[in-house]
Structure 1
Amino acid sequence: MFGPRFILRTTSVPRTGSIDYMYAGLKGADGAKDIIAAILDRRNNDISQLILSHNSLADDGCTLLFEFLASDAGRKYRIQKISLNSNGIRDRGLASIVTFLKGDTSLKELFVQNNEFACTDPSLAKSFAEATNLSCLEVLTLSTNRHLGDQFITDYAPFLDSPSLRELHCSAMGITHRSVPILVEYFSSPCCRLETVKLNGNSLGFRGVRSVIRAIEQHNYTLTSVEMWSNNGPGSEVDNNVTQDEDDDFPTHGTWQENNAALIPIMQRNDHLGKATRKEALELLRLARTLLLPSHRIDPSLAVFPFTQLPTELQIYVLAFLSPTLSSSQRHRICAYASSFATLPRRYELPGNPSTSSSHTNAASTAAKGKLKLLNSLGCYFYEREVS
């Protein structure tokens, strides 16, 4: 059988932007040293991915690797994806990952499934959640870490409030019906900004899955992909999480296919609302930028009724008619962003600037003038109602 050093030489020229040492026979600290040497050998810092799955780095290798990545020398490599699946990493290695995440601004995808994490110290799970919140992670895969289970969900989910995290994979982690109330609370909270969640192969139970579906239907509008297949394993038989008042809404009979079918219209609803929200938010930002910047002067020919002389609250109320899908808090944040010079991109040119003469700018200006006429008429109507 070939030794790891020989295998490393055969893979020492990975594809551009990636160091791929999957199944390379890397072991412990020596394996981490080989990875670090390969990173340092790369010119122009052009590394975006570390693919290190199915080795045996364990705690020693993981700790040494992430200590390097967290150093000044390591930070200059803007790595966006790290895969450490099946490396026998335990809690000490996870703690080094947590330390790295707290100061990182590049990593977007972290795959650490099928390791030996246990998080026997609740503070580690809490620190992991807080580090996730501070990071730029968009995808986090923890599946098949079977030693985590309910205790990890209890210690992790209540502190998770990441503005960037969009995918969370927690399949086959030994999660039972005891975690259902915590999952329900998290999915119902504004802190949950996930778009994809995977909970396959756990033991939530039929009623537990129904409880999660109901929470998403009533309170969550960001999730567009939810998987909860094969959740009838050991630990799912006893379910005391559903109160007596909910018994009529949660039948004890049914099929997993029916549960999945119940999710489809909810996911379609959230997908539609997400697209509409993004579209309306962009349209509102464009117009609010034109109208609400303090120094901008409206074209005198359009000032039949001076919209910008209205109280700010009434301006935002009128603008709301152009973005019916957005909530009042969303509109307020967009208008606050649009009215600040600090949020302008560099070399920004205000509408009407003589140096701006492209056809695109002229078309945008024409559209803005048309909407401004509408807003002036609406503003006049609501102003007359306000003073009468």
Structure 2
Amino acid sequence: MQLKLPSRSSAKWRHKYLQDPATICSTVNYRLQNIIPRLASTLGEFVSTPTVNAIISAIRKRQVVHRLYLGASSLGDAGCVRLFEFLASPAGLHCREGITELFLTKNEIGAQGLLAVAAFLRGNTVLRELCLSGNPLSTDPDVIAEFTSALNSSHLCTLQILHSSSLGDSFAQVFLSQLTTPYLRELDLSATNMTRAIVPTLADYVRSTRCRLERLQCNANSLTLGGACKIVSAIEEGYSLRSVRLADLHIDDHAAAVGAEDRTIGWQGCNRALSAVLERNSIYISRVKVESLALLRYSRALFLRSGTGATKSGVHKFASLSLRSRNSRSSNAPSPFFDLPAELQQEIISYLAPSLSHQQRMRIIYYAANARTLFHPIRPSNGVRTKQLEARVQTGLGRRLVPQQGQTFEGSWRPPIWWECCCSADLRPSCRCLRRWKREMRDIWLTQVACNTYEHVL
């Protein structure tokens, strides 16, 4: 097995990070896939040892690693555990703190491997995308609970667990009932052998405030038409989902008794209802995000002078905040806005962001009043990480592709911390990397103040 950056001539690896020196892709000897399953399970540890050693060796040679594409690398449980043990060690710390995307598709990862992934995921604020598709994983409730708990403590945005038919309802039951992370935006559970029995659990999740997903895919499962209709009804009670896929569902025996024409009419009605709900949610979410950012700017100008910091309990009173802003010793005179009663001030603020709930507006105001939120505490000086990567590219990367000077890299960024664009002033407006970093930071802030979805107030 070889670990290398894909070349331009390789059509297999033509993706948007083709020339990114911070990406490690695995090129596997695919003749190993012709081994019969029984022999592969017997020799799994012997096959995974040289594979994971090659991956670790490639990581050691890189100064910056942001993506690991390790699909079909024959890792198995032993290789997966070995890889994450290395990433947890001092030698792999630089990689652990920089990985934003991790793809482990079709690696025969079971319970032990899933626990190793959970340990890597716990408290991880850097990893944004994780793909575990095509792996048997585990149906053990304790293992699933450990993985879900780790996911809830992370900032992961995208999770893909599709084409894992061995999971079934037992995995989804534990996973969805304990899923509470506010950062997860995309979840793909297609072709995981879910049946109509899981519909109540799935419906409870999508209608609850625990669900902050914007995209949910459950294609190629056995949820049936009746189950899909119940899920759509539950989605109508929430406001976060903007894209849902329930296509290619298998028909159970009860539904098969209904005529084909009636089933077609039923699916068409279900799809129309779903489209209307998703369009409504998209409109509301767009309004909430735009108004949240606008209110942040207004609140900075009004309330930052109060000098309010974080409290131990995290609880503020708007009246006291307004009073502190009015009595501030700032050189500039306070705005006449603070001469108004606190109730009238809140009423005026509500007109600035009418789509936000009262709680959302107050969270933004308290955030804006805290001077500590103006500066990131772990911002490196002079963009050290990015400049190190640029210097390494210019001095040569061995067999890796060296792009032209001034070209930006999609992988040379870390969303949760400060990132400094090294493009020239004329190229900076078109820098895809900078735009993505801003988008990620904006999404993180909206999640922190719980303004990434519409809050319906009765």
- Asked if TM exceeds 0.5, the reply is yes
Tell me if 1:90 matches 2:90.
Answer: no
Compared with structure 1, are the counterparts of its residues 135 and 346 closer, same or farther at alpha carbon in structure 2 (3 Å cutoff)?
closer
Check the 8 A contact 1:203/1:236 in 2, yes or no. no
**2:362 is matched with which residue: 322, 325, 332?**
332
Alignment partner, residue 292 of structure 2: 281
Aligned AA for 2:130? Answer: L
Check the 8 A contact 2:190/2:220 in 1, yes or no. yes
Alignment partner, residue 21 of structure 1: 26
What is the distance in 2 between the residues matched to 1:276 and 1:298?
36
What is the distance in 2 between the residues matched to 1:17 and 1:86?
23
**2:142 is matched with which residue: 112, 115, 123?**
123
Alignment partner, residue 85 of structure 2: 67
Residue 252 of structure 1 and its aligned partner are, at CA, apart by 7.8
Alignment partner, residue 228 of structure 1: 246
RMSD of aligned alpha carbons: 2.7
| SS of residue paired to 1:47 | coil
Check the 8 A contact 2:159/2:188 in 1, yes or no. yes
Q: Structure 1, unaligned stretches of length 5 or more?
A: 239-250, 348-388
Aligned AA for 1:109? Answer: E
Residue 296 of structure 1 and its aligned partner are, at CA, apart by 7.3
Compared with structure 1, are the counterparts of its residues 30 and 235 closer, same or farther at alpha carbon in structure 2 (3 Å cutoff)?
farther
What is the distance in 2 between the residues matched to 1:135 and 1:151?
23
Aligned AA for 1:330? Answer: Q
Residue 236 of structure 1 and its aligned partner are, at CA, apart by 7.8
What is the distance in 2 between the residues matched to 1:257 and 1:36?
51
Alignment partner, residue 36 of structure 1: 56
Map 1:154-193 onto structure 2 (within 5 A).
154-193=173-212
Higher Cα Rg, which structure: 1
What is the distance in 2 between the residues matched to 1:235 and 1:116?
27
Q: Deviations 1:81-105 (Å, cap 9, x if unpaired)?
A: 1111111111111110001111422
What is the distance in 1 between the residues matched to 2:251 and 2:79?
34
Compared with structure 1, are the counterparts of its residues 142 and 213 closer, same or farther at alpha carbon in structure 2 (3 Å cutoff)?
same
Residue 9 of structure 1 and its aligned partner are, at CA, apart by 7.3
Q: Deviations 1:61-120 (Å, cap 9, x if unpaired)?
A: 11111111222322311011111111111111111000111142221111110111232x
Q: Deviations 1:235-291 (Å, cap 9, x if unpaired)?
A: 8859xxxxxxxxxxxx98834343223221211111111111111111111111222
Q: How many corresponding residue pairs?
A: 323
Residue 36 of structure 1 and its aligned partner are, at CA, apart by 0.4
| SS of residue paired to 1:288 | helix
| SS of residue paired to 2:299 | helix
Residue 10 of structure 1 and its aligned partner are, at CA, apart by 9.4
Residue 168 of structure 1 and its aligned partner are, at CA, apart by 0.3
What is the distance in 2 between the residues matched to 1:199 and 1:298?
58
What is the distance in 2 between the residues matched to 1:209 and 1:308?
52
| SS of residue paired to 2:375 | coil
Check the 8 A contact 1:22/1:51 in 2, yes or no. no
Residue 346 of structure 1 and its aligned partner are, at CA, apart by 6.5
Aligned AA for 1:232? Answer: H
**1:149 is matched with which residue: 168, 175, 178?**
168
What is the distance in 2 between the residues matched to 1:54 and 1:257?
38
Check the 8 A contact 2:186/2:216 in 1, yes or no. yes
What is the distance in 1 between the residues matched to 2:288 and 2:5?
49
Which structure's relative contact order is higher, taking Cα pairs within 8 Å and 6+ residues apart? Answer: 2
Alignment partner, residue 130 of structure 2: 110
Alignment partner, residue 156 of structure 2: 137
Range 220-229 or range 308-317, more displaced: 308-317
What is the distance in 1 between the residues matched to 2:253 and 2:171?
16
Aligned AA for 1:108? Answer: R
**1:266 is matched with which residue: 258, 271, 277?**
277
Check the 8 A contact 1:86/1:115 in 2, yes or no. yes
Tell me if 1:47 matches 2:65.
Answer: yes
Range 132-141 or range 309-318, more displaced: 309-318
What is the distance in 1 between the residues matched to 2:367 and 2:151?
25
Q: Structure 2, unaligned stretches of length 5 or more?
A: 9-17, 33-46, 257-261, 307-327, 378-458
Residue 30 of structure 1 and its aligned partner are, at CA, apart by 2.1
Alignment partner, residue 379 of structure 1: none
Residue 31 of structure 1 and its aligned partner are, at CA, apart by 0.8
Check the 8 A contact 1:110/1:137 in 2, yes or no. yes
| SS of residue paired to 1:254 | helix
What is the distance in 2 between the residues matched to 1:320 and 1:72?
50
**2:374 is matched with which residue: 340, 344, 355?**
344
**1:317 is matched with which residue: 347, 363, 370?**
347
Residue 206 of structure 1 and its aligned partner are, at CA, apart by 0.7
Check the 8 A contact 2:114/2:138 in 1, yes or no. no
**2:223 is matched with which residue: 179, 204, 225?**
204
| SS of residue paired to 1:137 | coil
Residue 126 of structure 1 and its aligned partner are, at CA, apart by 1.3
Q: Deviations 1:313-372 (Å, cap 9, x if unpaired)?
A: 54223200111111111111111111222222369xxxxxxxxxxxxxxxxxxxxxxxxx
Q: Deviations 1:117-139 (Å, cap 9, x if unpaired)?
A: 232x2121111111111112111
Identity of aligned residues (%): 36
What is the distance in 1 between the residues matched to 2:183 and 2:224?
30
Check the 8 A contact 2:196/2:224 in 1, yes or no. yes
Map 1:209-220 onto structure 2 (within 5 A).
209-217=228-236, 219-220=237-238
Range 203-212 or range 254-263, more displaced: 254-263
